[in-house]
Chain A
Amino acid sequence: MAEPAQQQVNLATLSLEQLQLVREQVEEEIQQLSESIQQLRHASNKYLEAKDAMGGLKGTEGKEILVPLTSSIYISGKINANEKVLVDIGTGYFVEMGIDQGQGFSTRKVQLIQEQVNKVQQAITIKRQNLDQIMQVAQGKLALYKQQQAQAQQAEK
């Protein structure tokens, strides 16, 4: 983990303005990572909903429903599930599988996303630590600068 150590050395040699720039950069990165987490959570919710919907299909063979043809047109029909569903597995492929398999698929997707979320969360923690370091160095420099100014003023008197 040479990165934080490297940055420590660099931080000490940067001026206040440069520290400000680096700080803004890190803050922006944190912002982007947070957005990624949100998107991942959103996708995860979709798969959970799909899983619940499939569960609701169980044991409904022959029931009458309003079948959506588009988001605003519906037509009366009977459920013909045979307990099988068409699942979108990505890149334009759909697979016909039983409801249990479909639910298994959704669960695995949710797990996958959760792992990604954890990774991103770790990255965010590291970035926050970097940010703290930058703030500390910046404050140290500011205190030093003020001290120097006070000394200079005293020397003039």
Chain B
Amino acid sequence: MTEVDPYKILFEQDIKSASNIPSVTFISNVDDFLKDKVIDEVFNRLQEAHQKYKYYESKLTNNVSLLTVRAKQLQESLDIVERVEKKKDDTYNVQYELSEGVYSSAEVKEPKSIYLWLGANVMLEYSFEEAGEVLRKNKESVDRQLKETIQDLGFVKDQITTTDVNISRVYNYDVLQKRKQKQNKGREEEEEEEK
């Protein structure tokens, strides 16, 4: 099974969002863009969008770590099932955790089935092949979710950068405008005094 590194997508151009996160357009010409808009309103909208993207980013980063942990656990469970299956005609002793810090011994004799805890107070008995199947299916689902979440994360990071650039360009334009207005005002007052 060729494992593609799900993080590779972060280095590609033009990542698309795997789920429906809105994208933001880059303001190429600030003057045109601001012609029919009030600059404070534009500013507020951009800041809002920035905050939303930041929130998305933290949520997605959380999910990535959760999913990575879960994928690792599923892989370990899969390995354990395979090992137990190999020894299914043996009789051996197991030291199991009776309570935290206390272990007790038990004898396992020619096991034919194992029990999987599926959550929500549900436990099922499976044969070794079936248990392997269930765990493999779960792992595939987790892997897929991880891939999509990483893709979304890359997309959101792009949007944050674009929004940042937009904000600074609008802000600089605004500063420039205000300075021009001041200069013009200063010149007008000078002309008035000369008269």
Known: A66-B115, A67-B94. A75 touches B101 (CB 8 A): no
- Residue from B81, B93, B99, B115 whose CB has the most chain A CB atoms within 10 Å: B99
Chain B contact residues: helix, strand, loop or mixed: strand
By the criterion CB–CB under 8 Å, are B108 and A75 in contact? yes
- Let me know if B84 is at the binding interface, CB within 8 A: yes
By the criterion CB–CB under 8 Å, are A80 and B99 in contact? no
Known: A66-B115, A67-B108. A75 touches B84 (CB 8 A): yes
A80-99 near B? 1/0 per residue, CB < 8 Å? 11101111100000100000
| A102 → chain B closest CB, angstroms | 7
Contact of A75 among B77, B97, B102, B114 (CB under 8 A): B114
- Let me know if A110 is at the binding interface, CB within 8 A: no
By the criterion CB–CB under 8 Å, are B108 and A50 in contact? no
By the criterion CB–CB under 8 Å, are B114 and A72 in contact? no
| A58 → chain B closest CB, angstroms | 11
- Let me know if A71 is at the binding interface, CB within 8 A: yes
Closest to B83 in A: A69
- How many chain-B residues does the 8 Å CB contact rule pick out? 31
Closest to A99 in B: B104
What residues on A are CB-neighbors of B114 within 8 Å? 69, 73-75
Contact of B103 among A52, A77, A86 (CB under 8 A): A86
What residues on B are CB-neighbors of A71 within 8 Å? 117
- Let me know if B96 is at the binding interface, CB within 8 A: yes
B88-101 near A? 1/0 per residue, CB < 8 Å? 00000111111111
Near A by CB (< 8 A), chain B positions 101-157 give: 101-109, 111, 113-118, 123
5 A-B pairs besides A46-B101, A79-B106, A102-B102 with CB distance below 8 A are: A57-B104, A72-B77, A72-B116, A81-B104, A88-B101
